[in-house]
Amino acid sequence: MSADRILYCLEHLTDYRQFERLSSDLMAGNGYPDIEPIGGSGDGGRDAIHQHAGAPGLTVFAYTVRMDWRRKLNGDCARISEVGLNPAKVVFVCTATLSGDEKDEARASIKQRYGWQLDIFDIERIRVLLVGPLRHLVAKHPAIFCPPYFSQRGGLSIAESFDTLIIDHIESDHALATWLSRRLSLEGYQTWCFGTAPLAGEDADSSVRQLIQSRGVKYLPVLSPAAVADRGFMDRCGAAGSREDFVMPCWTSDLQVEFSRGRLAQTVPARFDRGWAVGLAQVLEYLKSSGVPLSDDPARGRAVALRAYMPEPVTKPEPESIFANVFSASVPRSLMLTDLSRPLTDAEIMSLRDKWPFVVSTPLQLLSFDRPPPGRIPFLERSPGESTFTEYAWEQRLSRKGDNTLNVVKDLIRRCLHIACVGAGLKWCDRRELFYYSEEKHGNQRFTHVDGRETRVTLNGERQYGRGERASKFRYQLSPTFGIGRDESAQWWITLRVYVRVTDMAGTPFEEKDIVRRRKAVTKGWWNKEWLARVLGVMQALRNDGTEIVVGTQQHALRVSTTPLQWKCPIAIDYKVLDHIGDFQEEMAEMRAGDEEEGDDDDLVVLAPDAADG
pLDDT value for 205: 93
pLDDT at 122: 94
pLDDT at 68: 84
Q: What is the pLDDT of residue 581?
A: 46
Q: What is the pLDDT of residue 589?
A: 52
With a CB cutoff of 8 Å and minimum separation 6, the contacts of 576 are none
What single string gives the DSSP state of each residue in 270-316? Answer: EEGGG-HHHHHHHHHHHHHHTTPPPSS-HHHHHHHHHHTTSPPP-EE
Chain length of the chain: 614
HEC string of 362-383 equals: ECCEEEECCCCCCCCCCECCCC
Instruction: List residues bridging with 477 in a β-sheet.
Output: 460, 501
257/545 Cα distance (integer angstroms): 94
Which residues partner with 379 through β-bridges?
Answer: 340
| Confidence (pLDDT) at 443 | 76
Q: Which residue type, as a one-letter code, is found at position 137? A: L
In the three-class reduction of DSSP (H, G, I as helix; E, B as strand; rest coil), residue 232 is classed as helix
How many whole angstroms separate alpha carbon 608 and alpha carbon 612? 11
Rounded to whole angstroms, the Cα distance separating 421 from 141 reads: 55
CA nearest 536: which of 432, 462, 613? 613
Give yes or no for a cis peptide into 570 (omega within 30° of 0): no
- DSSP class of residue 318? S
Q: What is the pLDDT of residue 587?
A: 53
Alpha carbon 397 to its chain's center: 47
In the chain (614 residues long), the average pLDDT of successive 10-residue segments reads 79 82 90 80 68 75 88 89 87 92 94 93 94 90 88 90 93 94 90 92 93 94 92 91 91 81 78 94 94 70 46 74 94 91 90 91 91 80 65 73 77 95 94 90 87 93 86 94 92 95 94 90 87 95 94 94 92 67 49 40 42 40
Distance CA 183, CA 167 (A): 12
Domains and CATH numbers, the chain: 5-140 (3.40.1350.10), 152-307 (3.40.50.10140), 329-607 (no CATH)
| DSSP element (H, E) containing 20 | helix 16-28
* pTM exceeds 0.75, yes or no: no
Alpha-carbon span 105 to 98, nearest angstrom:
11
- 266 Cβ contact partners less than 8 Å away, ≥ 6 residues apart: none
Give the whole-angstrom CA distance, residue 78 versus residue 84.
10
pLDDT for the residue 433? 92
36-72 b/e (C-beta count within 10 Å ≥ 16 → b): ebbbbeebebbbbbbeeeeeeebbbbbbbbbeebbeb
Query: What's the CA gap between 367 and 357, in Å, rounded?
Result: 9
Cα–Cα distance, 595 to 611 (Å, whole number): 30
Question: b or e along 6-26 (b: 16 or more beta carbons within 10 Å of the residue's beta carbon)?
Answer: bbebbbebebbbbbbbbbbbb
Give the containing element (helix H, strand E) for 434.
strand 434-436
Distance CA 60, CA 56 (A): 12
**Angle value at C-alpha 425, between 421 and 429, nearest 5 degrees:** 70
User: CA 410, CA 427: separation in Å to the nearest integer?
Assistant: 23
Using the 8-state DSSP alphabet, how is residue 264 labeled?
G
Kind plus residue range of the DSSP H or E element containing 214: helix 204-214
Q: Going edge to edge, which strands form the sheet with 164-168?
A: 191-193, 164-168, 216-223, 250-251, 270-271
